[in-house]
Structure 1
Amino acid sequence: MAQKAMPGTSLEGIRPTYTYKVVLLGSMSVGKSSLAYRYVKNDFKELLPTVGCSFFTQTLNLEVATVKFEIWDTAGQEKYHSVCHLYYRGAHAALLIYDITNKETLNKAKLWLRDLEKEFLPNEIVIALVGNKMDLAAEREVATEEGEEFARTKGLLFMETSAKSSHQVNDIFMAIAQDLLQREQEKASTPSLHRRSTVDLGESGARTGCCQL
């Protein structure tokens, strides 16, 4: 189950601050660590395989709110798969990353999605399907349309990226931030509707115990 986002007050005292846990899931060598490193450090490194989990943080100062991402980069090796659910518990968003030059990594991303569907309720977290290594597009095994279509049928965000060239790396995290903030706005508007309904119930003499809270 996703944890409740941690709202706070930014230094300006005007915009709210939200802290979100984001997990990166996918097979080994799809570029999860390089993608996180590019986003946080704006640099590219051919990183060694992650053992267990690595942790990054990044802050976005947006017009409507400050967003703090806690990015969990999970190991892609098969031997760690059974324990990775411990890392994505309480997540607010997940990136399912595959390598566009390796069709099998898309199949593995689909398996990760199944795991998330068991752990979370529908629409409980924001999920993005990410085709990485766009710098190797000449070697691609997965057509853009195939990734787009799968993401569309499952209601996922979709983008193709390159950690090496920085192509759309910031864009996918921005899309996640915007989706999360939109959900915050929707949640904020729900209590006001609930309050109106309880007032109506009270005035009609149908007030119940739950409505008196």
Structure 2
Amino acid sequence: MGETLPRAPGGAQLHSDTLRRQFRTLRVKMVLLGSSGVGKSSLALRFGKDEFRNTSPTVGCAYLTKVVHLNDVTLRFEIWDTAGQEKYHSVTPLYYRGAQAALLVYDISKRETFIRAQVWLKELEKQYTAGSTVIWLVGNKGDLAQDRQVSVQEGQNLANDRGLSFIETSALSGDHISELLQAVAHRVYECVGAQQGGLSEWQETPLLDLQHKDTFNPFASCCKVGP
């Protein structure tokens, strides 16, 4: 006869708690900021669908979601792609207020977008408390390196001076897209998620998800946060 192993007191409850921690899903609001034409919508589409397509300028904002699995937690990114045109500048803070992650995007082949990114940064700093938002400076359109107007060192220097993280990407080729999202996920979880009430838990509602599937229409505006 085999030996009966002793059961630890409360073992079933311990197993249940372990599963709960393992499959816990936290909500992360991430906003993309930058001038019109720098590729924010294309980055968002790469994040959400790993696709690339030519897009029209965003009207107001567009919204999609992306789930990222870490070792002991799942993060459900709610990604807000904001309009870069000047006429929408006054309403953009309504979309990025309360974001736990922000990507300041510029086009490496257009210096004016790099300068504009610094203006967006000043606006963003008015809306957040230090430590509550992870900010990344993103030099997009790395595939246009032959037309580069902003050097890698310039981007890195600005990030170092302002306490930001920095990376160059290409939404067209997909270079460094997944690495960026994973890095943002880890940083948000370590820095923001560790705070009391830093990240709220997302509860799955299957019926609602059937009605609101994760879709992304770069030609449409969206002014509603999903489940």
Give the TM-score of the pair, scaled to structure 1: 0.81
> Which residue matches 2:72?
64
Aligned length: 180
Contact 2:132 2:192 in 1 (8 A): no
> Which residue matches 1:153?
161
> Which residue matches 2:20?
13
> Which residue matches 2:51?
43
- For residues 163-201 of structure 1, the C-alpha deviation after alignment (integer angstroms, 9 at most, x for no partner) is 00000011111111111111256436xxxxxxxxxxxxx
Cα RMSD (Å) of the superposition? 1.8
SS in 2 for 1:187: coil
Tell me the distance in 2 between the aligned counterparts of 1:38 and 1:160.
14
User: Which consecutive aligned stretches of 4+ in structure 1 deviate over 3 angstroms post-superposition?
Assistant: none
| Deviation for aligned residue 1:121 | 1.8
Matches within 5 A, 1:50-199: 50-184=58-192, 186-187=194-195
Contact 2:70 2:186 in 1 (8 A): no
> What 5-or-longer segments of structure 2 have no aligned partner?
1-15, 197-227
- For residues 109-161 of structure 1, the C-alpha deviation after alignment (integer angstroms, 9 at most, x for no partner) is 00000001111122220000000000110100000000001001111111000
Report the structure, 1 or 2, having the larger helix content.
1
Tell me the distance in 1 between the aligned counterparts of 2:186 and 2:35.
27
Q: Relative contact order, CA 8 A, sep 6+: which one is greater? A: 2
> Which residue matches 1:5?
none
Tell me the distance in 1 between the aligned counterparts of 2:178 and 2:130.
26
Contact 2:41 2:55 in 1 (8 A): yes
SS in 1 for 2:90: helix
Tell me the distance in 2 between the aligned counterparts of 1:187 and 1:49.
36
> Which residue matches 1:194?
none
> What 5-or-longer segments of structure 1 have no aligned partner?
1-8, 189-213
Tell me the distance in 1 between the aligned counterparts of 2:174 and 2:54.
14
Q: Which amino acid aligns with 1:177?
A: A
